[in-house]
Structure formats: C-alpha cells, structure tokens
C-alpha cells in the first residue's frame, strides 16, 4: 500500500514528536511511562467528541487571545485542544493561525499531532513524575477528577496500563486523580 501524502508529512514530524516525548527527566522506565501516558491519552481522546461545537469554548475575558466571531475553539486533535487561550499560543508556537483557523487542527494531520505535543510539553510533561493520575488532571481535571467522571478516569488508566505492559514497564503509583 502506498503512503498517503498526510502519512508522509506526519512521518516527517515523527523525529520532533519523539524528541518531545524523550525530553523528560528520569530513567528509561520513566521515559517508557511517559510514552505510555501520552498514547493512553491520545487513544482515549481520538474519536471522541465531548460537547463538541455545541459548547462555547471562548473565554471572552482573555484579551491576549481574543475569540474570532464565528470560530469554535472546541476540542480537536489527539489531545482535544480546546479554548481560545490554547489555540492562540499553540498556533503561534507551531506556525498556524489558531484563532482565525482553529479547524486546521482537525484538517491538517501534522498540525493536529503538533498541537497534541505542544499541549503535552507545556501542560502535562511537568507533572508526569507525580504519576498517571496527575496527567489526567492536567488534561481534563475538573471534568474527570475528584469523582466527576470515574468511568472516564478508569478508561484512561486501562489504556495506560495496557501501553505500559506493551512497553515492559510497571505503571507506577498514583494512577487516578
């Protein structure tokens, strides 16, 4: 089977993705846990639309990254990038117009995965040493943690432990939030 243009572009982004996921501090086992955590969240979040375009993800008090009329900042991509205050800086850092063209995250596979890595490096990677539960809190805290949606937390933990098993590493402590 021939590679699609999107697959070729994504393959070009893979070294950048691998570097982002290997920049954590710690042992080889810690790196494997981080990779398992990233893919557990991506597995959980892809293919799901929670509230989607029906929910207003515009923080009108954010003047640095103001919402553009008619644009929706709902969850898109492998780690469901949401809110104008995330689309704006992600676009600046990655090189797309996140505020005027948030749909790029859904239509461009390379941008899509780069936004997932952008979110991971900026908000999740710093808590990975606290256990998988801390990564859930960093991604969807109030929506899932502290008993808000235990079934969703359990599904994420199940994906994580399966990826850890595949990578030959124990999942560690503090799996839930």
Which residues are the active-site residues? 45
What residues have CB less than 8 Å from 100, skipping those under 6 apart?
68, 71
Q: How far is CA 95 from CA 111, 124, 147, in A?
A: 9, 21, 38
Q: Render the burial of 101-128: b for 16+ CB within 10 Å, e for the rest.
A: bbebbeebbbbbbbbbbbbbbeebbeeb
Q: Please, how many CA atoms are within 13 Å of residue 140, restricted to the half-sphere of its CB?
A: 22
Alpha carbon distance 22, 91 (integer Å): 23
Q: Please, how many CA atoms are within 13 Å of residue 97, restricted to the half-sphere of its CB?
A: 5
Alpha carbon distance 160, 126 (integer Å): 18
């Amino acid at each position: 089977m021939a590679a699609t243009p999107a697959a070729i572009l994504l393959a070009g982004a893979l070294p950048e993705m691998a570097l982002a996921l290997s920049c954590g501090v710690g042992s080889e086992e810690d790196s494997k846990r981080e990779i398992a955590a990233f893919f557990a969240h991506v597995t959980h979040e892809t293919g799901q639309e929670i509230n989607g375009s029906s929910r207003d993800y515009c923080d009108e008090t954010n003047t640095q990254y103001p919402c553009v009329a008619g644009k929706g900042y709902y969850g898109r991509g492998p780690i469901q990038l949401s809110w104008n205050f995330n689309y704006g800086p992600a676009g600046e850092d990655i090189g797309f117009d996140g505020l005027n063209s948030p749909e790029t995250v859904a239509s461009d596979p390379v941008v899509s995965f780069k936004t997932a890595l952008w979110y991971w490096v900026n908000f999740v990677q710093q808590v990975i040493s606290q256990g998988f539960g801390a990564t859930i809190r960093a991604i969807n805290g109030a929506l899932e943690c502290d008993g808000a949606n235990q079934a969703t937390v359990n599904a994420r933990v199940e994906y994580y432990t399966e990826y850890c098993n595949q990578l030959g590493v124990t999942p560690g402590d503090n799996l839930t939030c």
